[in-house]
Amino acid sequence: MTKVIPGYKKVALILASGALLLGACSSASDTDAAAGDSAAASVREGLPENCSTATPKIGVALPNLSNPYYVEMKKGVETAAAENGFEAIISIADDDIAQQQSQIDSFIQAGVCAVYLNAIGSEPGTGFAVSLSKAGIPVFAVNVFVDMAAVEAAGGSVVQNLGADQAGGGTLSGEQALANLGADAKIIAGIVGVPSNVTTNLRDAAFTAALTKNPNAKVVQTVDHEVKPDVAQKVTAEMLQGNPGMNVIFADIGPGVVGALLAIKQLKLEDKVQLYGFCADKTKIEKPYMGCVGQAPNQYGQLTIAEIKKYISGTDVEKEVLVATPTFNVGDEVPANIIG
Amino acid sequence: MKMKKVNIPQEAGIFFVFLVMVLIFSLLSENFFTITNASVLLLNGAIIALIGLGQTFVLLTGGIDLSTGANVAMSGIIATVLMRSGMPWWSAAIGAALCGSMLGVLNGLIIHYIEIPPFIVTFAAMGVASSIPMIITRAESIQITQERFAWIGQGHVLGFPVPVILVIIAAIVSSILLKNTVLGTHIYALGGNKLAARLSGINVMRTTVFVYAFSGFLAGVAGVVATSRLNVGYPQTGTGNQLFYSIAAAVVGGVSLFGGIGTVRGAIAGVLLISTISNGMNVVNVSSYWQPLVIGLIILGGVSFDSKRSSKKDGAKSKPRGKPQILSRIKK
């Protein structure tokens, strides 16, 4: 006996089948998107439309590529973006604030999903964060922290500040020098720095403060290496000429360490002058280079992209993430991903 | 009784200023006037001197070469890459300098045949030349594989640093080229009056290409020296203040930005002055915030003086007794 399905039930069955089919298609389509873009699977409300696309765009603002530090950071960002289904739009400002401003404007015009902001300086970074967040784009400040209170006072917001403890790194370098030379040894120190850079100034100030624990220690001069080893070699040699008693040099970025080391060797002062600083790329820690403080820019890049992913998929993230700076002494092997 | 007129060289003024600066820095710091600091000063000034000499040739024709700093970076990386490909260090160094020269040849050809102002052509070349090392290295430093390459930047011959010897050789060759060859006369003529030079049968194309090629070659040598001093291929070596200082050195040394006037002696005096001030400010601990201001004022002074002198020269040309420099040179 054939079971007859009433007409209205047929209609209901067809509708139910259609709904199931549509649901399946919809779910298949979601799964496809998730394969390349897990961030778009579930998107926090109020974010730019671009966050809901298959491959959300992340605007990445970096200060320069003359410092190997940012080269490593760029690699980390690119790796993590590919892994997390983002498209990273990387802009390099060549240390020009006006250029970085126009790049930020381009991100706003492009309606990117989020911005990875390594500003050239903290103050300009505050302005950029205000413009971006007012345009509805979440801002993740990396390396150069943005003053959250100032941004909020101007009506903006910053999702997160992430990076190394810059001042902590300077303090550790100062403590390394005191430990090696003696807590009350006579120390005449010079800084090979970048006086126009807020981040390195934090390191320099902390190094100087750390030395004040020793009443016989003082920083007598700071020279500008412009983040270039050839310039660092020149200015360090000149600083050593002007200060024959100098016995400690602190170089606050890797390229500065490279140049300062060459200058010490050029003047044959290896037995007299000790060099400390933020770890230089591909440079062995051996006399007169007595120790360094490391950062992992590649890791910061990857971490931040992971935090962006968490945030846009609805998970709250910490307002501030401070990554510890490991120290290395003579004889230590500096891992390839560690750089100053 | 009529007094005999003493002919004071044009560069005497800049040498005098140089001596005054040496005296001032010596009074400010006992560590300035020492043999080791003189050695540091000369070594640090070598790069500026090399590209400044090339710049002098270009300025004498009324042109300018903004690509030299980037050329330093490009040549240094090319030397490093050539060595890594297995080429011996000395041939890699020569190859890199020749690549620098090729950039100059291209500059010269474009300036002559397409008739684009040198400022634009060499500015574009600066962009190209600064990108090449970044593209090759992906902005990373490259280790130098042949230790003997370091001799060029760090070695000594009879107690003299090799870079300083290279500068002396370059200065002698430059001086001979400008003073004792027909080419030198053509270079001055081109800078004095391009149209007159062309009408008098001077091969403008060959002269233009030569000066840019020579500037490129010396920038290439500077790139090799700078990379050898660092003993690492760094894609932004030479892109600091070197270009700015080299032009400044030539101009304060009496080489006219408008062409036709200047000597190698003057350019070297300018290099000594700029290098001394740059060195002295660090030795006596002048804040780095102030240093560009001081250098800037010196350059402004030099250029203002040059501008005044040029306007006087133009005034003199309009008077019957005026005697343009090129005519006096041809008569000699």
CATH of the domain at A111: 3.40.50.2300
Beta carbons of A228 and B236 less than 8 Å apart = yes
Q: What is the pLDDT of residue B271?
A: 94
Q: What is the pLDDT of residue A2?
A: 39
Minimum-distance CB partner of A223 among B134, B237, B288: B288
Written as one string, the DSSP assignment of B111-170 is IIII---HHHHHHHHHHHHHHHHHHHHTT--EE-S-GGGHHHHH-EETTEEHHHHHHHHH
> Is A141 a residue whose pLDDT tops 60?
yes
Residues B247-264 have pLDDT tens digits of: 989 998 889 988 999 999
Instruction: Indicate whether A273 belongs to any domain.
Output: yes
Residues B22-51 have pLDDT tens digits of: 999 999 999 999 999 999 999 999 999 999
Nearest alpha carbon to residue B262 among B170, B186, B188: B188
Instruction: Indicate whether A283 belongs to any domain.
Output: yes
- What H or E segment, with its residue span, contains residue B274? helix B264-283
Q: Count chain A–chain B contacts defined by CB atoms under 8 A.
A: 99
Share of chain B above pLDDT 70, in %: 89
Intra-chain end-to-end CA distance of chain B, in Å: 29
Intra-chain end-to-end CA distance of chain A, in Å: 84
Distance CA B40, CA A263 (A): 9
If asked whether residues A219 and A252 sit together in one domain, one would say yes
Higher pLDDT, A332 or A209: A209
> Is B315 a residue whose pLDDT tops 70?
no
Q: How confident is the model at residue A159 (pLDDT cuts 50, 70, 90)?
A: very high
Please state whether A74 falls in left (phi above 0), alpha (psi between -120 and 50) or beta. Answer: alpha
Q: Is A231 on the interface with B (CB under 8 A)?
A: yes
Nearest alpha carbon to residue B270 among B93, B21, B8: B21
Minimum-distance CB partner of B29 among A71, A229, A242: A242
DSSP code of residue A174: H
Q: How confident is the model at residue A4 (pLDDT cuts 50, 70, 90)?
A: very low
Instruction: Indicate whether B320 belongs to any domain.
Output: no
Minimum-distance CB partner of B141 among A233, A244, A281: A281
- Work out the minimum CA distance from B32 to partner chain A, whole angstroms: 7
Contacts of A205 (CB under 8 A, 6+ apart): A167, A170
Distance CA B84, CA B71 (A): 20
> Is A5 a residue whose pLDDT tops 50?
no
Note the helical H segments in chain A: 7-36, 68-84, 97-110, 122-134, 148-153, 166-181, 198-211, 229-242, 254-266, 297-312
Could you write out the three-class secondary structure of B185-235? HHHHHHHHCHHHHHHCCCCHHHHHHHHHHHHHHHHHHHHHHHHHHHCEECC
> Is A25 a residue whose pLDDT tops 50?
no
Q: Which of A171-185, A203-217, A221-235, B315-329 has the lowest mean pLDDT?
A: B315-329
Residues A108-139 have pLDDT tens digits of: 999 999 999 999 887 889 999 999 999 999 99
Instruction: Indicate whether B18 belongs to any domain.
Output: no
Q: For A292, phi and psi rounded to 5 degrees? A: -150, 160
Q: What is the pLDDT of residue B25?
A: 95
> Is A333 a residue whose pLDDT tops 90?
no
Distance of CA B262 to the CA centre of its chain: 13
CB A93 within 8 A of CB A149: no
Instruction: Indicate whether B9 belongs to any domain.
Output: no
Q: How confident is the model at residue A340 (pLDDT cuts 50, 70, 90)?
A: confident
Q: Which two tokens stand for residue A83?
A: 């892994």
Please state whether A193 falls in left (phi above 0), alpha (psi between -120 and 50) or beta. Answer: beta
> Is B328 a residue whose pLDDT tops 50?
no
Q: Which of A17-26, A67-76, A122-131 has the lowest mean pLDDT?
A: A17-26
Q: What is the pLDDT of residue A323?
A: 87
Q: What is the mean pLDDT of residues B266-273?
A: 94
Amino acid making up residue B2 = K
Average predicted confidence (pLDDT) for chain A: 86
If asked whether residues A184 and A116 sit together in one domain, one would say no
Domain end residue (candidates: A293, A315, A331): A293
Amino acid making up residue A276 = Y
Beta carbons of A281 and B140 less than 8 Å apart = yes
Q: How confident is the model at residue A17 (pLDDT cuts 50, 70, 90)?
A: very low
If asked whether residues A155 and A171 sit together in one domain, one would say no
Q: What is the pLDDT of residue B69?
A: 94
- What H or E segment, with its residue span, contains residue B243? helix B242-252
Q: What is the mean pLDDT of residues B93-99?
A: 97
Q: What is the pLDDT of residue B145?
A: 86
Q: Which of A37-46, A292-301, B222-231 has the lowest mean pLDDT?
A: A37-46
Which residues are A142's β-sheet partners? A162
Q: How far is CA B225 from CA A123, B102, B155, B160, in A?
A: 39, 18, 11, 15
B219-245 burial, b at 16+ Cβ within 10 Å, e below that, comes to bbbbbbbbbbbbbbbbbbbbbbbbbbb
If asked whether residues A55 and A77 sit together in one domain, one would say yes
Beta carbons of B240 and A243 less than 8 Å apart = no
Q: Is A41 on the interface with B (CB under 8 A)?
A: no
Residues from chain A that touch B287, judged by Cβ atoms under 8 A, are 195, 222
- Work out the minimum CA distance from B303 to partner chain A, whole angstroms: 26
If asked whether residues A158 and A187 sit together in one domain, one would say no
Number of domains in chain A: 2
Instruction: Indicate whether A234 belongs to any domain.
Output: yes
Q: What is the pLDDT of residue B319?
A: 45
**Residue among B41, B230, B232, B293 with most chain A CBs within 10 A, to mutate:** B230
Higher pLDDT, A211 or A339: A211
Q: Is B232 on the interface with A (CB under 8 A)?
A: yes
Minimum-distance CB partner of B288 among A195, A237, A259: A195
If asked whether residues A195 and A258 sit together in one domain, one would say yes
Q: Is B140 on the interface with A (CB under 8 A)?
A: yes
If asked whether residues A243 and A158 sit together in one domain, one would say no
Q: Is B284 on the interface with A (CB under 8 A)?
A: yes
How would you class A153 by CB atoms within 10 Å of its CB: exposed for 0-12, middle for 13-18, buried for 19 or more?
exposed
Could you tell me the residue range of the domain that residue A85 belongs to? Answer: 49-164+297-323
Residues B146-185 have pLDDT tens digits of: 999 999 999 999 989 999 999 999 999 999 999 999 999 9
Distance CA A88, CA A112 (A): 10
Instruction: Indicate whether A263 belongs to any domain.
Output: yes
Number of domains in chain B: 1
Instruction: Indicate whether A83 belongs to any domain.
Output: yes
Beta carbons of B139 and A195 less than 8 Å apart = no
- Work out the minimum CA distance from B5 to partner chain A, whole angstroms: 43
Instruction: Indicate whether B305 belongs to any domain.
Output: no
In chain A, the residue whose alpha carbon lies closest to the alpha carbon of B142 is A282
Instruction: Indicate whether B110 belongs to any domain.
Output: yes
Q: What is the pLDDT of residue B75?
A: 97
Could you tell me the residue range of the domain that residue B252 belongs to? Answer: 45-291
If asked whether residues A65 and A111 sit together in one domain, one would say yes
**Lookup result for tokens 């030079």:** B197
Instruction: Indicate whether B258 belongs to any domain.
Output: yes
In chain A, the residue whose alpha carbon lies closest to the alpha carbon of B38 is A241
- Work out the minimum CA distance from B215 to partner chain A, whole angstroms: 21
Instruction: Indicate whether B11 belongs to any domain.
Output: no
If asked whether residues A152 and A301 sit together in one domain, one would say yes
Q: What is the mean pLDDT of residues A150-163?
A: 94
Higher pLDDT, A129 or A5: A129
CATH of the domain at B239: 1.10.3470
Distance CA A219, CA B238 (A): 29
Beta carbons of A242 and B31 less than 8 Å apart = yes
Share of chain B above pLDDT 90, in %: 67
Beta carbons of A238 and B234 less than 8 Å apart = no
Q: What is the mean pLDDT of residues B63-81?
A: 96
Beta carbons of B230 and A262 less than 8 Å apart = yes
Q: Number of C-alpha atoms within 13 angstroms, CB side, residue B129?
A: 34
CB A139 within 8 A of CB A146: yes
**Lookup result for tokens 């209901």:** A12
Q: How confident is the model at residue A267 (pLDDT cuts 50, 70, 90)?
A: very high
In chain A, the residue whose alpha carbon lies closest to the alpha carbon of B228 is A230
In chain B, the residue whose alpha carbon lies closest to the alpha carbon of A266 is B154
In chain B, the residue whose alpha carbon lies closest to the alpha carbon of A71 is B139
If asked whether residues A62 and A76 sit together in one domain, one would say yes
Contacts of B289 (CB under 8 A, 6+ apart): A195
If asked whether residues A310 and A243 sit together in one domain, one would say no
Q: Is A226 on the interface with B (CB under 8 A)?
A: yes
In chain A, the residue whose alpha carbon lies closest to the alpha carbon of B238 is A230
Instruction: Indicate whether B1 belongs to any domain.
Output: no
Residues B271-309 have pLDDT tens digits of: 999 999 999 999 999 998 888 898 888 778 777 776 676
Residues B204-221 have pLDDT tens digits of: 999 999 999 999 999 999
Contacts of A101 (CB under 8 A, 6+ apart): A124, A127, A128
Q: Is B297 on the interface with A (CB under 8 A)?
A: no
Residues from chain A that touch B282, judged by Cβ atoms under 8 A, are 223, 235, 238-239, 241-242
Within 10 A of B47 (CB to CB), how many other CB atoms are there?
A: 32
If asked whether residues A150 and A179 sit together in one domain, one would say no
Q: Is B39 on the interface with A (CB under 8 A)?
A: no
- What H or E segment, with its residue span, contains residue B270? helix B264-283
**Residue among A188, A241, A281, A284 with most chain B CBs within 10 A, to mutate:** A241
Q: Is A249 on the interface with B (CB under 8 A)?
A: no
Beta carbons of A229 and B232 less than 8 Å apart = yes
CB A300 within 8 A of CB A117: no
Distance CA A138, CA A304 (A): 13
Write down how long chain A is: 340
